[in-house]
Amino acid sequence: MSIVLRPGAPSDSTVCGRICFEAFRAIDDEHNFPWDFPSVEVATQVLMMLLSNRGFYSLVAEKDGKVVGSNFLDERGPIAGLGPITVDPTSQNATIGRRLMQAALDRASDRRAAGVRLLQSTFHNRSLCLYAKLGFDTRETISKMNGAPLGVSLPGYDVREAGATDLVACNLLCRRVHGHDRGGELDDAISAGTARVVVHLGQITAYATDVGFFAHAVAESNEGLKALIGSAPGFPGGGFLVPTRNSELFRWCLQNGLRLVHQMTLMTTGLYNEPKGFYLPSVLY
């Protein structure tokens, strides 16, 4: 058996999208959870987006010349986000996943990333053990929430579309909460028209690249996060992520009819600062 890793390209999206769908479906079915990707088409669209974005480093694994897996590294900020990593279910347990992970970590090290982060599904014991062996530390449990749009507004917390002139204020807010900014992601979201800010007493006190699985948010208070969630027209990616230890926000989501889909584990290597504020992670971190 010959395993070769190479950079990914948009032309890989069809085969990698199918593998991504099948791999996540297999583990979700095994544990009786909803599929992370509802169809091959959706998985392919997501991977095409990653393969086409210059801010992502992509890796494709081939076994005897056949594509059997892929992995991605978000390099748009000082902290790299890892995933999704998928291996063809017919090629599992052949160290392909480990090699894809190690290659991504080597890439982050070569680029002197301050840290690398990921989220893994808590029910997937095998991936948790692999990541721990590769040096990742567990930080906290994250709850994936989903449901119908809430249509809820908070007096004094006005939500509007974010623009390029909001970047400085949003990046400063993110640095206060996390110790680093996520300006590359926010810039992309502003260009895509999905980013929102919350204005309270004339100041930006929260922002979100979107309220969804692949998006993140940062806020000075839970009221800012509630305003973003309450005004969201939908939750792309099958839901959004809430730190479970934020009991007030978690309870508020449940009281407003949102449901828990499943839980995930935030894991990190390198730089990590305990958040000094309120946030919603993306599936990358």
User: How far is it, in rounded angstroms, from Cα 84 to Cα 47?
Assistant: 9
pLDDT digits 0-9 by tens, 28-56 = 999 999 999 999 999 999 999 999 999 99
The whole-number pLDDT of residue 165 equals 98
Q: Which of 179, 244, 236, 238 is nearest to 208 (CA)?
A: 236
Q: What percent of the chain has a predicted confidence (pLDDT) above 90?
A: 97
The whole-number pLDDT of residue 2 equals 87
Q: Where would I find the beta strands (DSSP E) of the chain?
A: 3-7, 56-63, 66-74, 79-82, 86-87, 115-121, 137-146, 158-161, 196-200, 203-208, 217-219, 240-243, 259-270, 278-280
| Contact status, residue 207 vs residue 196, Cβ threshold 8 Å | yes
User: How far is it, in rounded angstroms, from Cα 18 to Cα 45?
Assistant: 10
* Average pLDDT for the chain: 96
| Contact status, residue 104 vs residue 7, Cβ threshold 8 Å | no
pLDDT digits 0-9 by tens, 86-131 = 999 988 766 999 999 999 999 999 999 999 999 999 999 999 999 9
The whole-number pLDDT of residue 1 equals 62
User: How far is it, in rounded angstroms, from Cα 70 to Cα 100?
Assistant: 7
The whole-number pLDDT of residue 92 equals 76
Residue 67 has pLDDT above 70, yes or no: yes
The whole-number pLDDT of residue 124 equals 93
Identify the weakest region by mean pLDDT among 61-65, 156-160, 251-255: 61-65
In order of their start, the domains of the chain are 3-113 (3.40.630.30), 146-262+275-280 (3.40.630)
Can you tell me whether residue 66 is helix, strand or coil?
Answer: strand
Residue 201 has pLDDT above 90, yes or no: yes
Q: Which of 110, 107, 85, 112 is nearest to 96 (CA)?
A: 85
Residues 6 or more apart whose Cβ sits within 8 Å of residue 139: 265, 266, 267, 268, 272
Query: Residue 243, preceding bond cis, omega within 30 degrees?
Result: no
User: How far is it, in rounded angstroms, from Cα 187 to Cα 164?
Assistant: 7
User: How far is it, in rounded angstroms, from Cα 73 to Cα 12?
Assistant: 16
Residue 15 has pLDDT above 70, yes or no: yes
Q: What is the DSSP letter of 179?
A: S
The whole-number pLDDT of residue 16 equals 98
Q: What average pLDDT does this structure show over 152-166? A: 98
Q: Tell me the two tokens of residue 16.
A: 């990698």
Query: Counting Cβ atoms within 10 Å, is residue 35 exposed (0-12), middle (13-18) or buried (19+)?
Result: middle
Q: What average pLDDT does this structure show over 192-216? A: 98
DSSP 219-259: ESSHHHHHHHHHH-S--TTT-EEEETT-HHHHHHHHHTT-E
